Amino acid sequence: MFSESKSFDLKKRCDLLLAALLNNKQLEEKWWNSHNKYFNECPADVFSRDPNYVYDYLMRMAEGEW
């Protein structure tokens, strides 16, 4: 299981990736709290259970794996 500090670090990294991908703070907040087809639920809910899974997904999107 992830420690709280590692989860916080991954959240900051995810936020940075979203900022680079979306370039819009409102869209970033919406992304976290809206249903996502890939996860079949809200990314925030997935992150609460498995932060690394969300981070890995965002890294793949940043690398161009659409």
Give pLDDT tens digits for 7-42: 789 999 999 999 999 999 999 999 999 999 999 999
Q: Is the pLDDT of residue 50 over 80?
A: yes
pLDDT on residue 7: 73
Output the pTM of the full model.
0.86
CB 20 within 8 A of CB 61: no
Q: Is the pLDDT of residue 58 over 70?
A: yes
Q: Is the pLDDT of residue 4 over 90?
A: no
pLDDT on residue 3: 62
- CA 34: distance to chain centroid? 12
Q: What is the Cα–Cα distance from 25 to 29, expressed in whole angstroms?
A: 6
The residue among 53, 60, 42, 54 whose CA lies nearest residue 14 is 54
- Which residue in the block uniquely carries the two structure tokens 């997904």? 57
CB 34 within 8 A of CB 42: yes
